[in-house]
Amino acid sequence: MKKASIISKQGKPDLARVVGPVATWLRGHGYTVTADPAAREFCASAQLVEREDLVEAQPDFVVVLGGDGTLLSTARCVARAGIPILGVNLGSLGFLTEVKQDEIEHALAEIDAGRGELSLRPMLHCQVQREGMCVASYEALNEIVLNQSAVARITDFELRVNGMFVSTYKADGLIIATPTGSTAYSLAAGGPILSPEVPGFVITPVASHALTNRPLVVRDTAVIEARILVTREQAFLTVDGQEGMPLAESDVVRCRKSEYQVKLFRFAGRSFFDVLRMKLKWGER
């Protein structure tokens, strides 16, 4: 039996008119439908499943109704099981949730017919090393960020790539981003945009106190180590802007390419550059 899950962002005003038709379409085409609490409010016949339990529900794919934040949290839950995601944009920008509301039925029909192409997005695996021991590990689709809670206070970082010393930074923060994350916080901090097919990571200092400290692109086979040398306030590691932990001086955050990847549905006729042009309003051809 075919299965699909609906995941949505609590409080989105469009949910009331979007969730019901999506669930009806899926059931009408032979799918058993599960939904998280936010979506199930508008499709009571769907089986309830928490986002963290999606893998156990074993859907053929997940429909994410919301913005990039909703998709990011869903992606971290399902990546290890290889479950594909259809991202529908109910937000304002949305580089990842690129399907528009009036395109949902067409997108679902393409998937059901086996014509939905997949964009494979690499993830970043990071470990926090404290006194030689791993105290935490995370998977990120967009980026990991090292910074501190106080406004306008700098932190000293040491950066190494494959064990080789790169530089020390006096900056408000340090971003290590995947190609997918290159259009997120890294872009806002002055980093370059990487096409999803580029096998690399971007290391971007935030508000560096040395104008010569520029964003750096390295191969995705690299092991990246960022160590906090001096922090004047409590430092934090943040993963995809949604989870993380406090850091102590001399903690090392070690990053490498994850063994997992995120599968996003994309559709013929819309390239990554079409999405950039539309979202960043670069102008028509």
Mind telling me the catalytic residues?
A: 68
Contacts of residue 15, defined as CB under 8 A and 6 or more positions apart, other chains included, come to 8, 9, 38, 39, 41, 42, 65, 90
Give me the half-sphere count of Cα atoms (radius 13 Å) on the Cβ side of residue 52: 0
Write the single-letter amino acid at 171. A
- Joined together, the tokens standing for residue 142 give 């967009």
Contacts of residue 63, defined as CB under 8 A and 6 or more positions apart, other chains included, come to 4, 5, 6, 7, 22, 26, 86, 88, 108
Question: Sheet holding 143-148: strands in order across?
Answer: 216-219, 200-206, 173-177, 143-148, 235-239, 243-247
Using CA atoms, how far apart are residues 65 and 5, in angstroms rounded to an integer?
11
Using CA atoms, how far apart are residues 114 and 27, in angstroms rounded to an integer?
17
